[in-house]
Chains A and B, each alone.
Chain A
Amino acid sequence: MSYAALNTTTVAAVHEFDSVIIGAGGAGLYAALESSHAPGKTAVVSKLHALRSHTGTAQGGIAAALGNVEEDKPEWHAFDTIKGGDYLVDQNAAFILAEEAVGAVYDLENRGLPFNRTPDGRIDQRRFGGHTRNFGEAPVCRACYSADRTGHMILQTLYQQCVKNDVAFFNEFQLVDVILDNKKCGGVVVLELATGLLHVLRAKAVLVATGGFGRMFGTTSNAHANTGDGPAVLARRGVPLEDMEFFQFHPTGIRSMGILITEAVRGEGGVLRNGKGERFMERYAPKLLDLAPRDMIARAIVTELRNGNGILGTGGPDDFVNLDATHLGKSVVDAKLPDIADFCRTYLGVDPAVSPIPVQPTAHYAMGGIPTDVDGRVLTGADNTVYEGLYAAGECACVSVHGANRLGTNSLVDLVVFGRRAGKHMADFVKRNDMPVIRADVADGARAHLSKLYAGGSGKESAAAVRDRMRSIMMDKVGIYRTGTLMEEAAAELIALRGLFSEVRVSDASSKFNTEPLEALELENLLDLSLVTAVCALNRAESRGGHAREDYPDRDDARFLEHTLAWLDGTKITLGSKAVDRSHFAPKARTY
């Protein structure tokens, strides 16, 4: 065994906290604030510096029925969320989301968040896709916003509050294992970037808030860090994953790069146009037009491109449509969409106030993830029993409030509402429970896992080649439109790729600030989640929300109005199902 492998197999320290939070985005930081009423009792672990978290890139807004600009009600917000999710949403959870969004936005404002303001000094609100008044009548101004950097302001504000409250941060520690014994959580095993050493954090309660995993797709708006570490580690520990077939493609990514262009461009009045100059959404969503939900617009764009109506007219992978904001004028663009204008100038060399923005759909958001109840407690299966002391919140969790398709701005709502709820529940849980006993060998699995990355593989496969292959399989075969044949191919290819990964070897033997083993772990996590996604998608023989099957174009409530649960064991996946809470609205056809 090499010096480096020995080094990486040493446990540097065992730390103890009441609560440990993995991930420092909106959900993790809000939970930290709620659970850290005594100093030194809560730790936030992030594989980045906390301020680099992906919440910071959210642009357009956070929905809450404040009614500051026009009449609005949480009940309408809940209905839109349920319909937007194609009725796969747990309806009680959607009502909690909509009702508590209002208090959460006020709480953020009271903590200093600089929302844009109405002329009379209240929080300003604008339109966003799928958000309507009176159960679908017309678009409503519900998105509270801070220019087009709402996520940045949420992340900054929550981080500032953590500084104020002296929350302990473990920056640049990556999750390797969650200690789960007999359905009880005892802490985590993490790898420190600075030293290459493993640390054990023993805790009464652990919250997994690691965010999304869009990096499994070739074109994505997601950060390099979005590799689904939490869900993948838990899946390998036997925790089920829920509704993994539902992955949202945002309709407007910058052509070929995938960088997000916020829906707020359309909320402010921007329109999509095809190669003939037509406002093609008139044909797909006559009432809401360019403010229809994202899944419908992404499909509309692909259909236009396939029909030769793209700007190039080739229908090839580089073909695109235009997002036209030129009629908004420079003052609106500069005041309300300054970052978008900056992205367009930097990456496209165009000024959106003068020229249209070339866009293509981009993989954006995981509706599925770790199954939780409305207090963030992780569920063991369909019967709603929980893992003791284990919580999840944010994009990596599936409450489920997004169902088959998330509405724009509801991700930030999800973070703050369920991050807070999980944090509050943890604060109470740790008061009532003792520090769990953990076994002396808790880090042995993580240690063996790492050693294998250094010494196990032949080195004949490169991580880069495996990563590229995975991303193109997922993009080409498990993308916006799906068919059984292609997904069967994808699943088989991903299983083979998982085998090839064992030939990858970490080549850099040094221990300090060595990102190579961390990136290998991330790739492994993405491979596991890709396979689960492909298998779940193959199993769902219907079209619903973001899951569009060309071989099964219709929604099939009789067979499939239920959540998917998937258990991973190596490359074997066992599927099950879970009932959807339908306590408020009966499913209807989803037209806009």
Chain B
Amino acid sequence: MKIILRIRRSNPENDPVPHYREYPVDVEPTDRVLDAILYVKQRVDASLGVRKSCAHGICGSDAMRINGIERLACKTIVKDIARDGDVVVLEPLRSMPVQRDLMVDQNAFFEKYRSVKPFFIPAAPPRPKEQLQMPQQRMRYDDPTKCILCGACYSSCPVVAGKNPQFIGPAAVLQAARFVFDSRDIGIRGRLAELDTPNGVWACENHFDCTKVCPRKIKVTKNINETKHAITVHKENDHQAV
């Protein structure tokens, strides 16, 4: 079948004004959208800017907006989004500066990620065996461990894109949740300085766009709400302890 990729092109170096260009591509219905993009890049226009690596939805390199929705190009099958002759619109993620075409600057996204102390802060000192954790305790934080930090949720978030660009965003909260709900971790107090602020968890307004677009099918909004709850409980307990 044939599709037409309509790609938003721009390159601050020599082509700064964003514009759309169309590329007709012959594809198999079962091809990935990434396959069609790479056909253009490798056979039609080598200047097309796109990131890719694993090509099966794990590395998180090729998040972009496909027909207006954040997706991984390697995890989007042509027949699932287009019929023969259809136009497929490809645009870079929102809320991140464009570097070239479909490539965006994720530095601010990763800075926000780093701000929540996204690493294990253990309750117990290291030991030469494993720390015990019951299966149900392990499953408590299973969902957020699937996150690949592709940035799809961040781009989809209307709060980040609109009223509060300083919101640390769904992915950063999710990464905090991964530790907040880990029975072995005691780092919640250290994470409050970022989480318990107007730009932290409380900026989330439950639009659920993050959950809708997550290519790993993580219940992002639910995790954010549970983190809000955990913070409230933690502060109440702290207060009572005083």
Contacts and interface: CB of A to CB of B under 8 A. Distances in A.
Given A48-B61, A114-B145, A117-B134, A512 B13 contact: yes
A347 B126 CA distance: 42
B239 interface: no
A163 B12 contact: no
A584 to B, nearest CB: 26
Nearest to A164: B119
A85 to B, nearest CB: 27
Contact of B54 (A49, A56, A346, A516): A56
Contacts of A116: 135, 138
Interface stretch (B40-48, B159-167, B222-230): B40-48
B196 interface: no
Interface in A502-545: 506-508, 510-516
Interface in B107-129: 110, 114, 117-120, 122, 126-129
Contacts of A470: none
A487 B210 CA distance: 51
Interface in A45-88: 48-49, 51-54, 56-57
Interface stretch (A153-161, A178-186, A401-409, A569-577): A153-161
B13 A511 contact: yes
A111 B120 contact: yes
B100 A512 contact: yes
A393 interface: no
A122 B130 contact: yes
Contacts of A112: 119-120, 122, 179, 182, 184-185
Contacts of B17: none
A260 B142 CA distance: 22
A516 B47 contact: yes
A114 B127 contact: no
Contact of A160 (B58, B100, B118, B217): B118
A463 B13 contact: no
Contact of B119 (A106, A115, A160): A160
A224 interface: yes
Contacts of A119: 135
B232 interface: no
Contacts of B128: 103, 106
Contacts of A339: 58
Contacts, number: 156
A545 to B, nearest CB: 26
B11 interface: yes
Nearest to B43: A464
A507 B47 CA distance: 8
B145 A153 contact: yes
A515 B75 contact: no
B131 A109 contact: yes
B219 interface: no
Nearest to B105: A194
A119 B129 CA distance: 17
Nearest to B60: A52
B141 interface: yes
A109 B117 CA distance: 18
B58 A122 contact: no
A516 B185 CA distance: 44
B43 A462 contact: yes
Given A57-B58, A112-B122, A152 B148 contact: yes
Nearest to B147: A156
A128 B47 CA distance: 44
B103 interface: yes
B67 interface: no
A48 B150 CA distance: 13
B61 A52 contact: yes
B133 A110 contact: no
Given A161-B119, A163-B114, A152 B58 contact: yes
A146 interface: yes
B49 A515 contact: yes
A224 B53 contact: yes
A429 interface: no
B14 interface: yes
A57 B77 contact: no
A234 interface: no
B59 A54 contact: yes
A110 B131 contact: yes
Q: Which of B56, B60, B106, B126 has the most CB of A within 10 A?
A: B56
Interface in B1-57: 11-14, 30, 42-43, 46-47, 49-57
B206 interface: no
A581 interface: no
Given A110-B127, A112-B184, A114-B141, A259 B56 contact: yes
Contacts of A417: none
A506 B47 CA distance: 10
B234 interface: no
Given A51-B149, A52-B59, A223-B53, A508 B46 contact: yes
Contact of B182 (A114, A347, A514, A515): A114
B199 interface: no
A17 interface: no
A511 to B, nearest CB: 7
Interface string B133-157: 1110110011001101100000000
A353 to B, nearest CB: 16
Given A52-B61, A346-B77, A516-B47, A123 B119 contact: no
B241 interface: no
Contacts of B52: 224
A284 interface: no
A463 B100 CA distance: 21
A317 interface: no
A131 interface: no
A471 interface: no
Given A160-B118, A347-B77, A510-B11, A52 B53 contact: yes
6 contacts: A117-B135, A121-B132, A121-B137, A123-B130, A163-B114, A223-B54
Given A259-B55, A514-B49, 7 more contacts: A49-B110, A57-B58, A103-B128, A112-B122, A114-B138, A194-B99, A347-B56
Interface of A: 48-49, 51-54, 56-57, 103, 105-107, 109-112, 114-123, 146-147, 149, 152-153, 156-157, 160-161, 163-164, 194, 223-225, 257, 259-260, 339, 342-343, 346-347, 462-464, 467, 506-508, 510-516
Which 7 residue pairs of A and B lie closest in terms of their CB atoms, listed nearest first?
A112-B120, A121-B132, A160-B119, A164-B119, A513-B100, A464-B42, A508-B47
